[in-house]
Amino acid sequence: MIAAGIDAGTQSIKVIVYDSVSHEIIASSAEPLELIVGEGGVREQKASWWTDAVIKCFSQIPADIRKRIDVLSVSGQQHGFVPVAADGSVLYNVKLWCDTSTAPECQDIEERLGGRKALSERIGNPILPGYTASKILWFRKNHPDLYGKMETVMLPHDYLNFYLTGKRVMERGDASGTGLMDIFHGTWDRAAAEAIDPDLLDKLPQILPSPAIIGNISSQTAEELGLPESCAVASGGGDNMMSAIGTGAVQDGSVTMSLGTSGTLFSSVSHAFHDKENRLASFCSSHGTWLPLLCTMNCTVASEIMRAFMGYDVKTFDKEAETAPIGSEGLMMLPFFNGERVPDLPNGKGVLFGMTPDNVKPGNIARATLEGVTFEFLLGLEAFRENGIPVTSITLTGGGSKSPFWRQLVADMSGCPVRVPVSSEAAALGAALQGLWLKEGGDIAEIAERHIAFDPAKSAQPIAGNHEKYMKLYGKWHSLVDASVPMYSL
């Protein structure tokens, strides 16, 4: 069977075509995306950019391969808000996951619902900056005329499914990241929806009770993409949900860390999960389980900013970091360039702390950046273990996983062995494998084991003694975060 996976990310649209018989990606393509950046944390895109990029991506794939595609599935950046009119037009720019301009609306909604603790205990999640719910309220407040024309709330991957099939549906994995879904029952929470708009429930699409084939590709889109009209479209999911499938995190105890634009740490669990401290998002998976997840908004964002500032390419930046000792001679980085979700600091800023005349060196700055980013993941590992989720090994994915230095840093900080899949396109491969699973049937864990290979040359083992050193430094880093919180409200 031939399955295609579309990965609709923040920086690009990617397409892979996977042959389930030969176990190989037989074609791939990518198109970059622009980003609209504005004051106050505005981060937006136009939905038309995505469909244009999808068309360009498929045009780069040989026609004979396109004609053989049996099923496709979409992985999309989570939390984005796509307001769609009755005629299918998009009414406004898409506010993205990394848009923190709607933080006041988060507080507004939570106060209407009795506060963060009460809300998260009832539906599993608070409403954090970046989640979809606050974006909907912002749109209603700031563009009431356009809001009045809105027929359907969609997420990025839902909109691409709509483009592919004409169907207005949402699956439970991505829906659980809106701040409007009760993750314990898999339904929209009426009170949360009505806190935004008494009629909002009518504008929210049906939540599929389980992953499914939602239909065949429409004849118009099939012609645009050069695909057969018999091509089935699977329900897809958010990028983290698809990356869980693409890295094999589909059963209890499997843990994946994604070192991408944002940083995520997630694990599949077979029971409804809720972290009472709200460090972990209580998401559902797109393969029928739950997906407790830590999300940081500054992963390779931080390393790219500092690398560009220093005028280094990626390899030089890593080599400089490797020259510095553990702890970067006292330098510590709080990498909150885009604000932060965990810890909850929407107005956070980047901080380089502990500078002296002797330690301001390129190597120390590079290492402090990567150490600071990785310390954030320890917040998630702590929460996993406190909630009874075992962490014995970590699968790395994302751009940062290409760095030997960063792989070793993760192994040393976590105290766990690290492995890296052969395919670096976890979300796109996960989407393709979900389509394969839903088309052919069978057990998702068995499918993941059969189709996901790992690169032994990229594995890393903790170096004796390093974990203990990092735990001491982590305590100091955590204290620095706590001490900095009042500064972000000035």
Tokens 């001490």 sit on residue: 483
**Cβ distance 28 to 16 under 8 Å?**
yes
Residues acting as catalytic residues: 239
**Cβ distance 269 to 408 under 8 Å?**
no
Question: How distant, in Å, are the alpha carbons of 295, 340, 341 from that of 346?
Answer: 13, 5, 6
C-alpha–C-alpha distance, residues 42 and 335, integer Å: 19
C-alpha–C-alpha distance, residues 28 and 271, integer Å: 36
Sign of the CA dihedral with 218 first, then 221, 223, and 225 last: negative
C-alpha–C-alpha distance, residues 254 and 454, integer Å: 14
**Cβ distance 50 to 57 under 8 Å?**
no
Q: What are phi and psi of 122, to 5 degrees?
A: -80, -45
C-alpha–C-alpha distance, residues 19 and 25, integer Å: 6
Q: At what angle do helices 132-142 and 103-112 cross, to 10 degrees?
A: 100
The alpha-carbon radius of gyration of the chain (Å, integer) is: 22
**Secondary element (H or E) of residue 119:** helix 116-123
Burial class from Cβ neighbours inside 10 Å (0-12, 13-18, 19+) for residue 227 reads buried
